[in-house]
Structures are given as structure tokens and as C-alpha cells.
Structure 1
Amino acid sequence: MKILTTKFNTKYDTAPFSKIKNEDFLPAFIEGIALAQAEIDAIVKNEETPTFTNTIEALDFSGYTLDRLSSIFFNLNSAETNDEIQKIAQEVSPLLSDFGNDIRLNAELFAKVKAVHEQKATLNLNPEQTTLLDEKYKSFSRNGANLTEDKKIKLREIDKELSKVSLQFGENVLAETQAFQMHLTDEKDLSGLPEGTIEAARSLAKSQEKEGWIFTLDYPSYVPFVTYSDNRELRKKMAIAFGAKGFQNNELDNQQNVFKIAKLRFDRAQLLGYATHAHFVLEERMAESPEKVKKFSLDLLEKAKPAALKEFADLTAFAKKRDGLEKLEKWDGAYYSEKLKQELFSLDDEKLKPYFQLEKVLNGAFTIAGKLYGLTFTEVFDIDKYHEEVTTYEVTDEKSELVAIFYADFFPRKGKRNGAWMTSYKSQFVKNGINERPHISNVCNFTKPTETKPSLLTFNEVLTLFHEFGHGLHGMLANTIYPSLSGTSVYWDFVELPSQVMENWCYEPEALALFATHYQTGEIIPIELVQKIKESSNFQEGMATMRQLSFGLLDMGWHGQDPSAITDIKAFETKQFADTKLYPEVKENVMSTSFSHIFQGGYSAGYYSYKWAEVLDADAFEFFQEKGIFNKEVADKFKDNILSKGGTEHPMILYKRFRGHEPSPDALLKRAGLL
């Protein structure tokens, strides 16, 4: 039974998860590649003159079966993996890398694309078609189509190797995260910890038939531990374990993988005629060049650093006054920041959590999307899912027409990587007059419900949910013709705008009133707590900005130069972090060996984009604030010019169409209290 390469006989063409067996994947990939290859061959062998329709459009719609299969498989490898799936990923990745290169290095195909591209001025294309033509041409020219044969062979070798090493990197991070457990049996070691965290640790110990409590490096366990535990030695143990992932000279060590990935990317860029990997990547970004990114980062650093140094001095003085601490270490930061925040604002995350029950927060996000964009989310139970904890929704518009299918997957488990992300199981596009609607997923790691409590979120987790939901809306509201330009297929430093702008509603009393109600009493969050959330939103903003910039600078350090001379990751990082360092060095820890965003995800030479998009989001939200946060006219402009348009035009054109002018960093500096 060819479950993965024939049309799914399911509601809305959703993925038939329960019918898929692991052994189905490899044969399906082999067949999927053959089907896609046949479509490419048909374009190449077509004897008619190359046109936009028979070459560019045909190319964009080719490989559909393979694309869907890949999205299902690699999404499972992130959210529900096992040894077997990881082994298949190692086999499949080089095959896909080879096939991608078979297309990009196909001289006859490129000749046809080039022929159409050369007539661009006479073709009378609309903006979306023009973008598609440019993107298709660049996908060849930027990826080796103009290389000599020997260099094409070299490029293939690099890409194959890269696909394997980055997979290995991610598997090692997951294995290291899951290898560590801190098993406590003495109740006094729990001092300071929230009741819910203790309960979760107890139930984990129970599930392993152990006495006491087990804490792990999964975020819902790790973050509360280092934030609230009064036991400094145990905080230190947890923090060092967290920062040592992939840096322990064991079989899961990632140091060589980091060197390899950075060097392979540099070699690839050089082969293609670029100075560095960052030059290659940034050519297709709003930021345009490493120099611009560096200038942007250092300008922001200049504004944030005085604030950060003052905040750090205040925190150090507070810890000394409170506990006689002479020197703040990394494992003290979250703990004393939380205590200082409580003192300054009488705001305690634990007091807020009862108002943020996961289901209500999610429904709040749904309600806000309804008010802004006319969407309705209805939970359905007849759509297949890959794990019982996943919930599924039909998303409809004001005319009750289907907009999207939405999957939500919110709790940590074995086989699911840490963090939070949005992804898709099916892209939106229009073909044969049918607007194929997208299947979008949000994956997070929040505290599970316990025997006595529902899942209650910290305010930071509320922001995370809204952030990923913002990405989700970008996917759900996509409305373009071509799959490769749809939804989140935009410049990487633009992709965070829809997600980050959504976070703003979490600070608005009018929005909080829709979902922040006490899980036991149903009372709406008191206005004084809302005020405190707003007041505290700038708390340690200088330090937070500096931390974020430090990650971006480390990323540019790896990717903005020839990394061949780097032989010691620890020494290299120390140098990269010199301008942003606040805490003393921890010799057992580095960041790079578990920095999945840049060594496994898509953020290489792009981590700066979180800060870049913050400039956009602060400027965009200022527009909502001027007109009213649920103003339909502004929401329609945002939907029509940003959310639905995908990558059909240059992001600055889209942004100016929405806002009326280019974004100004002043809104961000004002919001952050750095002006």
C-alpha cells in the first residue's frame, strides 16, 4: 500500500499519521524522488520554446509529492522521533541533497530558465510572477549552475556532507538533553521551587518507579529550577549541565561537527564566488550584507550597553544586600532577577500563572485572531494526528470557508526536541482554479497538566505561545499562487515580524481581559497585575538586548569569516562575547555546540533577524496603538499586505504599503526604554 505517494484519502487531504509505518518512509522517498525527477525531465524534454508557464510555473509546481512527504517526515523527526526515524533521516538526507543538486546543476534546465529570464522585460508579468522568475533564476545561479563540471562535483560533495553533519548535530543535542537527570530525594533541596514544578518532578520520578523528584534539561523543568531554587549548588549543577551540551568530549560531542559545518559552509560560499557564508546568505535578506548587520548590531549595542551595565550592577548590589553574595555567576542571574522583579513590581510569575491556563491562553489567541482577521477556530476530532497530545482545529473565515487546518502540540516528551516552533504539513497555493489551503502546526514545550492542576503558563510562555501563533497566522492566511512564495517563505529577517508583532497583545489590558482568568475562580486578571506586567516589560531590557545581540554576533563570527583558523571553540566564543559579557566565564560551558538555531535550523548568518524584526514589529504595533489594537482597518492592511502576501514582493515594498513609510528604530528604543 503506497500510503505516502498517492493522494491521501483523508478529510481535507490531511496527513494519515496513524496509517504510516516507519518502514514506509525510505521506499516512499525513493519513489517521491523518481516522480519529481520525471516532472523535471518533462520540462527539459519539452520541445516548445521555453515560456514562463511551461518552465518557471511548471518547475514551481513540480515535486509536490516529495515536498509533502519531506514535511511529514522531518516534522516527525523534530516532534516525535525515535532511533529508527533518526536512522532513516541519515539515509534520506544525502538522497535529498543529491536530488536538489540534480535540479540546480541541470544545465539543460538552467538554459531554459535563463532563456525565460532574459526575456523578463517583454513578458508583461505581475509582481508575483516577476518575483517567481527572479527567485527561480537565482536558485540556479546562486547554487552552482554557472560552475565548471569539476566544481559542480565538489559542490555536491559539500552539500551531501552538510546534510549529514547538521542532522548529527541535532541528534546529539537531543540525546544530551535527555541524558541528564537530577534525582533529588531530600525535601529540603526543593526550597523555593514552585508547587507545580515540584509536582511535575514528582510525577516524572513516579513514572520511572523512583522515590523523590527528577529534574531535567527540558525547559519546563530547567527554567523554573534555575529561577526559583534556593539551593545555589543545585542551580549551578543544572546550569552547567545545560551549558555543556555537546561539549563533554563524549560520543555526543559536537565540537568537530561545529568546525565541520562552519568550514563546509565557508567552502561552499567560496566555490560559488562569495567571500563568506554570511555574504552568500545576506544577499537574499533585507539586511543585504554582513557589514550592514554588523553596523545594525553595534548601533543597538551602543544604545543597550550602558543600560545593561547599570542593570547588572543593580542586580549584583541586590544579591549582595540580600544574601551577602560577592560575585554573581550565571546560575544566579535568573534567580536574583526574579527576586528583584518581585521586589520592584511585587510581580511574581507564580502569582500570575493561575491566570494563564494553557487552554484559555490558546483560546485567547484564537479570539484575538477572530477580532483582527475574522477567523474562527473549531476543535475537530476526525483528523488524524501523530500523538494523542496533539489537538486539531478547522480554521474558517467570516464566510465559513476553510482557511487552514491547525495542529497544536504543547508538551515535552521523549523524542521531541526542546524549544518552540511553527511548521507546516501542506503549503498553500492555487492550481487549476483551486486554492489549496495550508496545514499549519505550532509545537511548544510547556508544563504538562498534573493530577491536581491544569497546564499553567508563565508570562514568558504566554509570549512564546503568541509568538509561534503569529508565525502560524502567517502560514494560515497565506494567499498566493505559487507554493514557493507562500506563507512564511519570505526573507529570513522579515519572517519574525508576524510572530513578534503578536506578542504585543499580551501586554494590552483589552486583550488580556479576553483570556487571563483565574483557573479556579474565573476572575479576570486584576488591572493592577496588568499594570505591573506592563511596567515590568522593560525590566532588564538592556541585559536582554545585549544577550540577544551576543548570539547574533557569535553567529556572524562563525559565518562572516574563514573559520579554518578556529581550533578552540571556548577561546573563540570568549573573543566573540568580549563586548557583551556580563557574567564570569564558566569553563565547562560553550554555546555553539548546542546552538541548534544556527547549526541545524535555518538561522545561520541570520540570528540577528530577531532584533531586526523587533524594529519592524515595534514600528508596526505603534500603528495599531494609534488606531486601536483591534482596529479593523489596520488589521486588514496588515493581513492584505503582510500576512497573505508571503514572499511575492520585496519585504520593504510590502512593509511600506502597510505602514506608509520605512520602519524607524525609534519605536523599538522607546518601547525598550533605551531612548
Structure 2
Amino acid sequence: MLSSSIRRSSLPSQLGGWICSGCRSRSSSLASVVLRQRQQRQWAPPTNPSTYRFLTHSSQPIAPRQHIPPGARSDDHTLRSIFDSPEAWKSFSAVHTGVSIGLFRNAFLTTPDGFLTFARVSLKRARAIVDKVLEASTTEEYRAIVRHLDRLSDILCRVLDMADFVRVTHPWQQVQLQASNAWDLVYEYMNELNTMTGLNDQLCKAMGDPEVTKVWSEEEKSVAEVLRLDFSKSAVNLGEHHRRRFVELSSEISSVASQFVQDMAPEEPVLRLPSTWVRGMDPVTAQALTRGGKVHLETLGAEASMALRTVRDPDTRELIYRASRTASKRTVRLLEHLMKRRAELANISGFESYGHLALRDRMMAKSPEAVDRFLRALAGSVRPRAQQEVADILAEKRKFLPAATHLEPWDKDYYSNSIRHSERAVTREDDISCYFSLGVVMQGLSRLFSRLYGVRLRPAAPLRGETWHSDVRRLDVVSDTEGHIAVLYCDLFYRPGKSPNPAHFTLRCSREISEAEMAEVWKVSKEDADMPGFRGPESAANDGMHYQKLPNGSIKQLPTIALVCDFPQRVANSEEPALLSFYQLETLFHEMGHAIHSILARTSFQNVSGTRCATDLAELPSTLMEYFAADPSVLALFARHYATDEPLPYKLVVEKLRQARRFEATDTENQIIMAMLDQALHSPLAHQREFNSTQIYHDIQKQFSSFLPDPEGTSWQGFFGHLSGYGSAYYSYLFDRALAQRVWDVVFKSGADGGALERENGERLKENLLKWGGVRDPWKCLSGVLKDGRLAEGGEEAMALVGSWGTRSQV
């Protein structure tokens, strides 16, 4: 998830950016001007690639062509063994003697207290750069302003990104505490930036001087525009009174949004039902919930969802449905208060609505009107299939109730489950997971990236103190032509207390560091007692972390990425390695899609590197990877039985996908309704005195759902926690699903004839889209990769075109 976010990012979610499984922009200050949020994917709606065309492929594995770079065979073998065998990993990663190298090889982070030292040193650097920008007066000094502001962003991001990751992932409480303290210290400084108008004034002077801009590169111009938009979005151009109110509102919005999510509750938390009312439910589960002769059913628990799928009595299902779709009055009040405060913030900033404010910057859509065109076009595309699925469910109901004329809302899950049960193949999850040991899946990802992009994953033994847990595997990303280009830390196994949410974290972005900057940091490092001992200028400029030397004498800091999942460890004293379900396989491919984007978009400016692109483009590479996870030629690269080494029979995948996507169209329709609700609540409607989020939600259901809307008295919108983080961008996942399907069909030929493994196709995607990060206009990137001129200029027509493509290939 971009920790989702971000989701689908670059900075903690409070500061704005993409939060991926989830993630969204909660910008509370001008801090977003020079800082972009870490691309974290928090929980997101399922993004299974909606393609059926590959189901026409042979059920036998395709033997892929082998193109193995010299020296890669041993890496390939080791890659499998260190993930499949704890003993092999223990031997490979035997702890080095000597002092700690520091977490992530950051020389400051050798002890918990090092986080505060790192923060203090970083703030000294940041203040010096702010002074340089404010004092600029000559043409040469104005030419350097964009680089200075990007460096300012990088300095602060180095602390915030690492600290934010560590405080939610590190198993030691003392380290978490000090990371949080460091985060708070830097964030406090960012609040100081809120009061500054000088940075914006100086940037505008630089952008308005042709003698300055004529020497800027395409990247510099892109970064300048990003910063300018961020400044204006943060109300820096307003008078002092309005700026103060902007900051007050931002703080209140952050607080209310947190309250809304944390205090979310149903009006009736527990239902107490006679045991005879829940017949059909798993008797073991029902017995476990029984106390005092009554079944105690939490209305928002997994057991309530199970009951809606299995309880035979429709009156009981209705009771459960209503309770599970009715948020408490306080929850709804908090939601509506949040929407009204966001509307006021937008109004102060000169925007018609919060949606207009949120979508203008770093979004392809640019406006709520364009999002509406996309969602309506997508709804029209999916409706025929959704109506057919509804007809199938009604036909199933008529098997039991021949006189039935319609479906009640509480019928959907019950009769859908009945259809799935009747159509379910005999294949068990164990039958397919035996072919997906974590080691062979990692092998497969490395082989796939090697074929498509000429990069592979090479195991590397971490040094003492480099990782936060002994389970963490370090991989170096190696290019056939450029050598070592990124560092990837894989924390993939479950452990108590660890977050269960899969996520991609960018701990450090790509950025080019000049010789002059290296010399400056090296000089300071020898004078400042807080600085660790560094080997030389290059090491000092990178805090001791990895870098790459460039022909022009400068260096490039390597992208440093962490992937976090919660896959099961190998059972103790068992020869069976850790095995993944097909869903877990898709999850890992998805997160690796974020990682390869961060790896390949190695720009010279960190503000536009990797996943710091248009927010509604950020999930495209990760969603696209889910198509590869289901392609027979890709699976033939690696999917073999852990014990017999037999290749995966592809028919098992076909069965699995058909089961998972049986009601895909109605599921997509529900996501469209949620995206429509997100847009409506962030529209000018929030300015109205009689703002009623419940009525708005029910009206959208009536217009866009193939099912009956929720009954009166319910208020499901109070459980839509993503309204807190997404803020008018929930449509992004649907948008990227449509784009991913189109790229899969057009660029990779839907996998036909081994198209998923063709280097030419991978290079087409990389050269036109992946390598640009946020530098190039995303519509031009899409136009280039799809060779479709209709997309080049973006706008409402382009958004409607994407919606018309739908979210699955047509058989």
C-alpha cells in the first residue's frame, strides 16, 4: 500500500502527498511547498487487474526465453535461498563484528539518540539554505534557487521519511520514541516556514526572469512549477489575517480528520440475537459468539460480514445489514464538520470548493468537472456487465424464492456467496500456493525486471546495525549498464506487533549532488561536533549512505526503499518454505510496482523523483504489475512446486481468477459510487447551511447503483475512512486501473505471444513513462507510451476517454 498510500510518497501524511493501502494529502502548512510526501501505499480498494483476455491462453506454462546477464546466475540462486531458508539467510547475513554502521547505513543513526542529532544537524543545513534563497540578488544566485529549494526539501525529507518509517515499523520502543521526537522537531521548523513569504517571492522573481530560466533544464522548470503551485495552494499570497486563519483551519482539519477515523463507530455496536436466528452461519463461529443464550455480533466485525453471506433468514440479514451500514450520529457530525472546514479552507484560498483546491496541483484531472466526466464514462462502460451480474444474483434468489421480483440490499452478499459456492472449483488455496514460495517469487520478480528493464535484484549482506530486524533482507538493484542504482530493504514476514498493512516506503529519493555541495558539507562536517566521522566529501553529503559517481564529477544519492508485508514465516522444523496465496502474490507484485517506479525514475531533483508524480498516476505502475502476476509466460519464469520442482499448471490460476472476479463489475460500480461521494462531499455542496451527507450518499446510490440503494435511516458514509486522507482523490485507483489495463493491452499485447516479457515493450514503458517521475507532463507520458495523440493535452475529453476504456479487457 503508497503506508498507502500513496499509495499510494515522500513525506508523512500530515504534510501532503500520496499515501498508498491506502493514503492522502493532509497538508496543513506551507511545508508542502518544499516537501513532498513519501509514496506510501496504505490500504486501497482491491485493484486486481480486470482482464479476462489472458484466460484464453493455453493452460500449460509457456517456456520463456532466457536472457541472463553475466554474473546473475549466482545472485538468482541466492535470492531464492535467502527467502526460502532462514538457515541460508542466517549464514549469508552473519553479523559483522565492529561498531554499528547505522540504520540504513546512515552514520547518524547508530543509536536511538542519533535521530535527534540527525534532526538538529539537518535543521542547521536547512536554515543556511533558506538564508541563501532569501539573500539571492544576482542572476547567478536566482538561477540556483530551484536547486536550493530542492536541496532544502531533500534535507528535511531525509529526516522525516526515515523517522516516520521507523516510528511505525521499528520493534524497539526507545527507537520509535526518538524517531518521533526527531519528526516533531523538524515538523516544528516547518511550521516556521508557514510564516515566510520570502521564499515564494524569490521563486516568483526567478521564474519571471528570462535570463534565469533560459539556463534551467526541463527538470528545473518542472520543480519550479511544482513549488510555485504548492506555495499558492498554501495561501502564501494571502494577507496576514487570512494566512493565520489558513494555518488555524489546517490544524483543525488535521485534528478533526484524525478524530473521524479514530472514533468511527456504529450507532449500534453489538447485536444480541437468538441463536436460531443465525442458522446457516458457521456453527463453530456462532458458538464462540454465544453468551447467555444469545449470539453477540459486533456490527463492524468480520463475523457480521460472514453472517450477511451465510445467514438464511432474510429478516436477520436485514437487521445486521442496517446496523452495519449505520454510523453513529457523532461520527456523521465529525465527517460533516471536516467537510465544512475543508470548504472554508478552499474559500479562503480563492477556490470554489475543496475539490477544486485539491485537484489543481499534482493531479492529472485538474478539476472536479474532469473527474466527473471520467466517472460517468466509466459507469456507463461497466453498467451492462453490472446489470448482468445483478440478473445472475436475482436468478439465484429465484431458485429458493420463485416469486421474487427484486433484490433487497441484504440479499446481495448472501446470494452472491451462494453462486460462488455452486461455481467453486475443487482447487484449494494450498494447491496453488505450493508453487509460490516467497523465494521463487522474488526470483521471478528479478527475472522479470531483468527482461523488461535490464535491472535485477542482488542479495547483499547488511552490516551491523543497518537493518531494524534480523528478518529484513537487503537487496541491491543492479543495472546491466549503470551498475548499482538502488537499495531495497525487504521486511516481508509477519511478527507480533508489526503492522499487517503491505506498504512501499521511499526512505530516500534520487537526487544529484554537485561537487560544490559536497565540498560545503565536508567543510562543515569537520567543524561541527555533532557530525559523525565521514570518509570523504561524497560520504558526508550522503550521511554515509550509498551513492553513485557520475561522469561530470557530481554524485547521485541512490533511491533507498523499504517494502513491508506480513507473509507467514516457514513453520519451525518444517522443510516447507514460506508459501504465498495468489492474493499475497498479487500484493507483492503490486508493491514491487511502486518500487520499480522509484528505482527507474532516478531524476536529478528529489521533488520529482520516483513516485513523486501526479497523484492520480502513482498507482499505475503498481496496478499494472498485477497483470504480470497473472500472466502465464511470467509465471513460467518462476512458479514451480517447492518440493517436486514441477511447473505451475496454469489452469489453477484461471480457476482462481474466475472465482475472485465473479462479481467484478458490481464491485467496480460500488467503487465508482464511493468516488462520486468523495467528489460530492468536497464540492460546493459543503458550503450549504443544510449540508446532509446521508442524503447526498443515498442520492448517488439511486443514480449509479444497479442494486437498490441503502434503506432510509442508514448512514454508511460515516464508515468511509478514506474521506479523511483522500480528500477528493479517491477516484485515482479506478483511474489507474483503467490506465493499467490499457497499457497492458496496447504495450504488452495482453500478454499474448510472450508480450509480457519483451524487452522492447519494457523499454517503451520505461522511456515514455517510468523514468520521468514527476518531471514530464503525465498526459504526454501516457500519450507517448500508448501512442495515442488524443491524450497529449489532457483535459475533460481525455478523462472521459480513459473512463470509456473501462477496467477490464473485453473477451
TM-score range, shorter chain: 0.7 to 0.9
**Separation in structure 2 between the aligned mates of residue 240 and residue 385 of structure 1, nearest angstrom:** 48
- Report the equivalent of 1:201: none
Go from structure 1 to structure 2 and tell me whether the alpha carbon gap of 1:263 and 1:85 turns closer, same or farther (over 3 Å shift).
Answer: farther
- Report the equivalent of 2:760: 633
- Report the equivalent of 2:77: none
**Which of the pair has more CA radius of gyration?**
2
- Report the equivalent of 1:438: 559
- Report the equivalent of 1:365: 445
- Report the equivalent of 1:492: 615
Query: CA offset at residue 147 of structure 1?
Result: 0.5
Query: CA offset at residue 658 of structure 1?
Result: 2.6
- Report the equivalent of 1:672: 808
Query: Contact 2:460–2:474 at 8 Å: present in 1 too?
Result: yes
Give the letter aligned to residue 420 of structure 1: P
**Separation in structure 2 between the aligned mates of residue 466 and residue 236 of structure 1, nearest angstrom:** 38
The answer to whether 1:422 aligns with 2:422 is no
- Report the equivalent of 1:573: 697
Query: Contact 2:380–2:804 at 8 Å: present in 1 too?
Result: no
Query: CA offset at residue 400 of structure 1?
Result: 7.5
Give the letter aligned to residue 64 of structure 1: D
The answer to whether 1:295 aligns with 2:431 is no
User: What do the CA deviations read for 1:222-278 (whole angstroms, capped 9, x no partner)?
Assistant: 89968997899999999999877xx457xxx75454334323322221111111111
Which of 547, 553, 556 pairs up with 2:676? 553
**Separation in structure 2 between the aligned mates of residue 306 and residue 84 of structure 1, nearest angstrom:** 56
Deviates more, 1:293-302 or 1:225-234: 225-234
**Separation in structure 1 between the aligned mates of residue 163 and residue 393 of structure 2, nearest angstrom:** 46
Give the letter aligned to residue 130 of structure 1: K
The answer to whether 1:274 aligns with 2:354 is no
Query: Contact 1:82–1:415 at 8 Å: present in 2 too?
Result: no
Go from structure 1 to structure 2 and tell me whether the alpha carbon gap of 1:534 and 1:164 turns closer, same or farther (over 3 Å shift).
Answer: closer
Go from structure 1 to structure 2 and tell me whether the alpha carbon gap of 1:617 and 1:586 turns closer, same or farther (over 3 Å shift).
Answer: same
2:379 aligned counterpart, secondary structure:
helix
- Report the equivalent of 1:106: 196
Q: How many residues in Structure 1 have an aligned counterpart in Structure 2?
A: 636
Go from structure 1 to structure 2 and tell me whether the alpha carbon gap of 1:303 and 1:463 turns closer, same or farther (over 3 Å shift).
Answer: same
**Separation in structure 1 between the aligned mates of residue 355 and residue 487 of structure 2, nearest angstrom:** 36
Which structure carries more helix by proportion? 1
Query: Contact 2:739–2:802 at 8 Å: present in 1 too?
Result: no
Task: Map residues 179-578 of structure 1 onto 2, 5 A cutoff.
Answer: 191=282, 247=327, 254-284=331-361, 285-318=363-396, 321=399, 337=416, 340-341=419-420, 343-344=422-423, 346=425, 348=427, 350=429, 351-382=431-462, 384-399=466-481, 401-410=483-492, 416-417=498-499, 419-432=501-514, 433-446=554-567, 455-532=578-655, 539-564=662-687, 565=689, 569-578=693-702
1:516 aligned counterpart, secondary structure:
coil
**Separation in structure 2 between the aligned mates of residue 148 and residue 504 of structure 1, nearest angstrom:** 50
For structure 1, the 5+ residue unaligned runs are: 1-7, 183-187, 199-204, 206-214
User: What do the CA deviations read for 1:387-440 (whole angstroms, capped 9, x no partner)?
Assistant: 454433222122572221212334566655554332211111111211111111
The answer to whether 1:145 aligns with 2:236 is yes
Go from structure 1 to structure 2 and tell me whether the alpha carbon gap of 1:31 and 1:322 turns closer, same or farther (over 3 Å shift).
Answer: farther
Which of 719, 724, 748 pairs up with 1:599? 724
Deviates more, 1:459-468 or 1:449-458: 449-458
1:355 aligned counterpart, secondary structure:
coil
Query: Contact 1:409–1:443 at 8 Å: present in 2 too?
Result: yes
**Separation in structure 1 between the aligned mates of residue 428 and residue 109 of structure 2, nearest angstrom:** 38
**Separation in structure 2 between the aligned mates of residue 323 and residue 411 of structure 1, nearest angstrom:** 47
Give the letter aligned to residue 112 of structure 1: Q
- Report the equivalent of 1:58: 148
Give the letter aligned to residue 677 of structure 2: L
For structure 2, the 5+ residue unaligned runs are: 1-99, 273-278, 289-296, 515-553, 792-797
**Separation in structure 1 between the aligned mates of residue 802 and residue 243 of structure 2, nearest angstrom:** 46
Query: CA offset at residue 11 of structure 1?
Result: 8.1
Query: CA offset at residue 479 of structure 1?
Result: 1.5
Deviates more, 1:373-382 or 1:485-494: 373-382
Go from structure 1 to structure 2 and tell me whether the alpha carbon gap of 1:402 and 1:571 turns closer, same or farther (over 3 Å shift).
Answer: same
Query: Contact 1:43–1:58 at 8 Å: present in 2 too?
Result: yes
Query: CA offset at residue 644 of structure 1?
Result: 1.7
Query: CA offset at residue 152 of structure 1?
Result: 1.0
Give the letter aligned to residue 710 of structure 2: E
State, as a whole percentage, how many aligned pairs show the same letter.
23
Query: Contact 2:101–2:110 at 8 Å: present in 1 too?
Result: no
Query: Contact 1:470–1:501 at 8 Å: present in 2 too?
Result: yes
2:617 aligned counterpart, secondary structure:
coil
1:19 aligned counterpart, secondary structure:
coil
Deviates more, 1:155-164 or 1:634-643: 155-164
2:237 aligned counterpart, secondary structure:
coil
Q: Higher relative contact order at CA 8 Å, sep ≥6: structure 1 or structure 2?
A: 2
- Alignment root-mean-square deviation, CA: 4.7
Query: Contact 2:675–2:731 at 8 Å: present in 1 too?
Result: yes
**Separation in structure 1 between the aligned mates of residue 443 and residue 263 of structure 2, nearest angstrom:** 36
Query: CA offset at residue 26 of structure 1?
Result: 6.8
**Separation in structure 2 between the aligned mates of residue 93 and residue 16 of structure 1, nearest angstrom:** 15
Deviates more, 1:141-150 or 1:443-452: 443-452
Deviates more, 1:399-408 or 1:153-162: 399-408
Query: Contact 2:610–2:773 at 8 Å: present in 1 too?
Result: yes
Give the letter aligned to residue 141 of structure 1: S
**Separation in structure 2 between the aligned mates of residue 218 and residue 363 of structure 1, nearest angstrom:** 39
- Report the equivalent of 1:158: 249
Query: CA offset at residue 314 of structure 1?
Result: 0.8
Query: CA offset at residue 171 of structure 1?
Result: 5.0
1:403 aligned counterpart, secondary structure:
strand
Which of 626, 642, 652 pairs up with 2:779? 652
**Separation in structure 1 between the aligned mates of residue 722 and residue 112 of structure 2, nearest angstrom:** 29
Query: Contact 2:602–2:610 at 8 Å: present in 1 too?
Result: yes
1:423 aligned counterpart, secondary structure:
strand
Deviates more, 1:623-632 or 1:348-357: 348-357
Give the letter aligned to residue 640 of structure 1: E
Query: Contact 1:77–1:85 at 8 Å: present in 2 too?
Result: yes
Query: Contact 1:624–1:634 at 8 Å: present in 2 too?
Result: yes
Give the letter aligned to residue 149 of structure 1: E
Query: Contact 2:457–2:478 at 8 Å: present in 1 too?
Result: yes
**Separation in structure 2 between the aligned mates of residue 590 and residue 82 of structure 1, nearest angstrom:** 41
**Separation in structure 2 between the aligned mates of residue 544 and residue 441 of structure 1, nearest angstrom:** 31
Query: Contact 2:103–2:110 at 8 Å: present in 1 too?
Result: no
Go from structure 1 to structure 2 and tell me whether the alpha carbon gap of 1:238 and 1:460 turns closer, same or farther (over 3 Å shift).
Answer: farther
Query: Contact 2:126–2:156 at 8 Å: present in 1 too?
Result: yes
Give the letter aligned to residue 221 of structure 2: T
